[in-house]
Amino acid sequence: MLPSHAMKVWAVAGAAVLAATVSVSAADPLAEARRLYNAGQYEVALRYAREAMKVPAMAEPGRLLLGRIHLERYRRSADADDLIQGRESLRDTNAQSLDRRERAELTIGLGEALFLDQRFGPAAELFERALDSSAALGAPAHDRLLDWWASALDRLALSRPRDARESAYSRIVVRMERELAGDPSSAPASYWLAAALRGAGDLERAWTAAEAGWVTAPLAPDHGAALRADLDRLMVQGIIPDRAGRLQPRNMKQATAGMLAEWDAWKATWTR
């Protein structure tokens, strides 16, 4: 598989699985910390999260948010101290003091900590536990979580011998088929269906899934710009070379050129 595009596209926008909040005054430090977190202003959000932890009723949600902020800081700076502090804050959060939504956020945060620590197997398990309930967090949050989950399984598969990867990719295929049946505009599902089919060795269907993803990409909130860039990269760098090598190994250069021309024609037909 190509390097995972997670944290490049859908997850890069702060990976904020927290509900958006309206602007509030500092009299509510937890709400202010959430607003700043969602805006990507992590340094100031950190200060308000610490203030929230001083208020008994806000202490545990504040600790949860503090952990999430440290993880985002780690993703920006790769400072190992942020990863450690993020993991410790999430680990020490008392889930019994959280509401249902916050517990889902804690599960996702723990999964992110594991992912960033390259513990892809348990990260995928935690992400999957939160997937069905993540719709309550909003469509953007659900899409980000879906991308985290598939990325974790992709990384897990790549750590295994080639002949032991199919089960991980099959899990992604089944989930993405289900997601697309419910929401044909799902950009992460469109990408990961094609990518996972390639990983599982089903190159013919990976090709057609990428074609279908290109056609439906404009249904996405950003009108498909990010998805189409990812699908093009997947086809040019992954599916086409693999397919050419399988179908015409002795004349791979010519086969690749023909497939690239076919793909370019498809894009032109379905691009305004």
pLDDT at 133: 80
pLDDT lower than 50: segments of the chain: 1-4, 6-17, 19-25
pLDDT at 197: 98
pLDDT at 120: 97
Torsion sign over Cα 130, 131, 133, 135: positive
Residue 107, CA atoms < 13 Å, CB-side half-sphere: 21
Q: Which CATH architecture has domain 1-150?
A: Alpha Horseshoe (1.25)
All CATH 1.25.40 domain ranges of the chain, comma separated, are 1-150
| Per-residue DSSP letter, 175 | H
pLDDT at 259: 97
Can you read off the two tokens belonging to residue 159?
A: 């750590």
Separation between Cα atoms, residue 55 and residue 58, nearest integer Å = 5
pLDDT at 163: 87
CA-based nearest residue to 45, from 53, 36, 54? 36
Can you read off the two tokens belonging to residue 217?
A: 């990409």
Tens digit of each residue's pLDDT (9 = 90 or more) over 103-130: 999 999 999 999 999 999 999 999 999 9
Tens digit of each residue's pLDDT (9 = 90 or more) over 145-162: 999 999 999 999 999 998
pLDDT at 26: 58
Which of helix, strand or coil describes residue 6?
coil
pLDDT at 185: 92
